[in-house]
C-alpha cells in the first residue's frame, strides 16, 4: 500500500463543474481499485492558494484557467465533461499521477 493521494478539483463556483469532475474521477479510481488510496476534495478557484497551503494536496484538477503556477502537477480537465476521448486522456493522466505519488 502506497501513501494516500489527495486530489483537489476546482472551478469558478466550487460546486458545479468541480463536482462533475469529482464524480468522474471517483468512478475511474474505483475501476482501478484505488478508492482506498485516493480522496477528492472541491474548492472555488479563489480558494485554491489557501487550500494548497493547508492541505498536503498532491494533484490539482481544474475546469478553469489558473492564473498562478503551483508546485504540484495540474491537469486541465474540462474535456472530461464534453468529449469522451478527452475524458479518457485526462483520466488516464490523473491515474498516472496518482500511481506516481503512491510509489514515492
Partner 1 sequence: MGDKNTSQDILYDAVILKEAKTKEDVITELSNHLLKKGYVNKDYCAATLDREDNYPTGLSTKPIGIAVPHSNPDNVLTEAVIVAVSENLVKFNEMGNNTSLVDVGIIFLLALKGENNHLNYLKNIINYFKQSNNVNFFYKLRPEKQIKNIFLKDVLQIQ
97 binds partner 1 (CB under 8 A): no
Closest CB to partner 1 among 84 and 103?
84
Distance CA 63, CA 9 (A): 8
Residues between 31 and 50 with contacts to partner 1, criterion CB under 8 A: 45
87 binds partner 1 (CB under 8 A): no
SS (H, E, C) 30-72: HHCCCCCCEEEEEEEHHHHHHHHHHHCCCEEEECCCCCCCCCC
**Binding positions for partner 1, rule: CB under 8 A:** 11-13, 15-17, 19-20, 23, 45, 62-65, 76, 78, 81-82
Amino acid at each position: 500500500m502506497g501513501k494516500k493521494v489527495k486530489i483537489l478539483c476546482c472551478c469558478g463556483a466550487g460546486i458545479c463543474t468541480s463536482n462533475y469532475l469529482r464524480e468522474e474521477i471517483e468512478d475511474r479510481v474505483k475501476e482501478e481499485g484505488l478508492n482506498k488510496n485516493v480522496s477528492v476534495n472541491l474548492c472555488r478557484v479563489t480558494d485554491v492558494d489557501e487550500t494548497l497551503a493547508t492541505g498536503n494536496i498532491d494533484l490539482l484538477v481544474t475546469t478553469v484557467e489558473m492564473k498562478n503556477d503551483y508546485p504540484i502537477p495540474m491537469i486541465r480537465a474540462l474535456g472530461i465533461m464534453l468529449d469522451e476521448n478527452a475524458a479518457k486522456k485526462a483520466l488516464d493522466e490523473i491515474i498516472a499521477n496518482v500511481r506516481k505519488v503512491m510509489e514515492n
